């Protein structure tokens, strides 16, 4: 299974606490996982140093390969390339004084591994994954469990192998897709860019050549995928990252607006301890917790707000308030 290209997409897997999952899988397939784990482990230990010679001797590889492994950790795993420095006095690599990464990789990697370990259905993949982990991390992982109460009734995963192949071959794809369960299906000519597992459902983010814009496709609404003969076009990955990080939820747009909500009682206490978006603004007003987040669409925020019942209500924009009232009215009427 071609996993590497898939997970490059996810950077959840784009969400912060799963940021290392794609890197893990790339190396998991290539048998270098254990060295990467070991380098990270040594860097975050009390001594905090690792040498090329140690890595080369421990894994019976060349020092040149060991240097490539460290460079991979520096540029692909840690938040900043400057987080690793070479200590000429100790003749070893260590984390910089400014690096705030001692717990970063451990927490993120363990959560990512836990989700993968519980979600993967391939027994061989489980075994290979376990063998790639240092004993200390394997013991910790055994204490972490990941449960989800809901998953799509349709088997989203059946389309993954074709999308993996399209990533690997750098090909476009033709998707037969229903925008909603009751809409007519239509064919879309798409350059696949990212796969995101969001709230236990798979989404493909791609450039829709018919609409000439980025689109989000929920895999449970895909009826067919055909790998195209044409090469996928090059796209601005930085721009895509900016769009993905710009608003709440899975819906994409070059622009977003601020949605403001208020919460009472237990809902206020709960939401005040959560981060819905990195750019959120919040404050307490007369015992209520007011939360403002950027979003390109009201769909997910409306669903989230309704889940709190009478303990939550919208403040702005007016279109959001109107949509909320109409939805509550429909629910009360039993429609």
Question: Mind listing the pLDDT tens digit of every residue in the chain (335 residues)?
Answer: 333 333 333 333 333 333 344 444 444 434 566 677 778 777 877 678 899 998 888 888 889 989 988 888 888 777 778 888 999 988 999 888 877 554 555 555 555 555 555 545 455 555 655 665 556 566 655 655 555 555 555 555 678 778 888 888 899 999 999 888 788 999 999 999 988 777 767 888 899 998 888 888 988 889 999 999 999 998 887 777 777 777 777 776 667 899 999 999 999 999 999 989 888 999 999 999 999 999 988 888 998 999 999 999 999 999 999 999 999 998 877 65
Q: What is the pTM of this model?
A: 0.54
Cβ pair 126, 117 in contact under 8 A? yes
d(CA 206, CA 190): 6
Cβ pair 250, 295 in contact under 8 A? no
- DSSP letter string over 249-282? SS---S--EEEEEEE-HHHHHHHHT--S-TT-EE
């Amino acid at each position: 299974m071609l996993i590497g290209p898939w997970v490059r997409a996810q950077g959840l897997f784009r969400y912060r606490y799963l940021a290392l999952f794609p890197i893990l899988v790339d190396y998991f397939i290539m048998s270098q996982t254990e060295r990467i784990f070991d380098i990270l482990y040594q860097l975050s230990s009390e001594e905090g140093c690792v040498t090329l010679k140690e890595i080369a001797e421990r894994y019976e590889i060349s020092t040149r390969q060991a240097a490539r492994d460290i460079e991979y950790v520096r540029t692909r795993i840690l938040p900043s390339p400057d987080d690793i420095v070479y200590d000429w006095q100790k003749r070893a690599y260590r984390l910089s004084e400014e690096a705030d990464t001692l717990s970063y990789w451990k927490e993120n990697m363990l959560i990512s591994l836990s989700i993968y370990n519980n979600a993967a259905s391939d027994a061989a993949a489980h075994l290979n994954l376990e063998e790639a982990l240092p004993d200390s991390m394997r013991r910790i992982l055994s204490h972490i469990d990941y449960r989800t109460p809901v998953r799509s009734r349709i088997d989203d995963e059946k389309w993954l192998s074709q999308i993996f192949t399209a990533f690997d071959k750098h090909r476009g794809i033709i998707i037969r897709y229903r925008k909603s369960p009751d809409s007519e299906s239509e064919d879309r000519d798409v350059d696949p860019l990212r796969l995101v597992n969001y709230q236990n459902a798979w989404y493909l983010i791609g450039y829709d050549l018919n609409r000439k814009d980025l689109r989000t496709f929920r895999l449970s609404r895909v009826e067919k995928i055909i790998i195209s003969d044409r090469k996928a076009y090059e796209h601005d990955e930085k721009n895509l990252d900016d769009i993905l990080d710009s608003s709440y939820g899975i819906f994409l747009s070059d622009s977003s607006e601020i949605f403001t909500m208020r919460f009472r009682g237990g809902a206020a206490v709960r939401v005040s301890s959560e981060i819905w978006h990195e750019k959120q603004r919040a404050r307490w007003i007369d015992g209520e917790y007011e939360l403002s987040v950027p979003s390109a669409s009201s769909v997910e925020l409306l669903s989230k707000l309704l889940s709190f019942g009478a303990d939550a209500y919208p403040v702005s924009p007016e279109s959001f308030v109107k949509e909320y009232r109409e939805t509550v009215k429909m629910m009360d009427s039993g429609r």
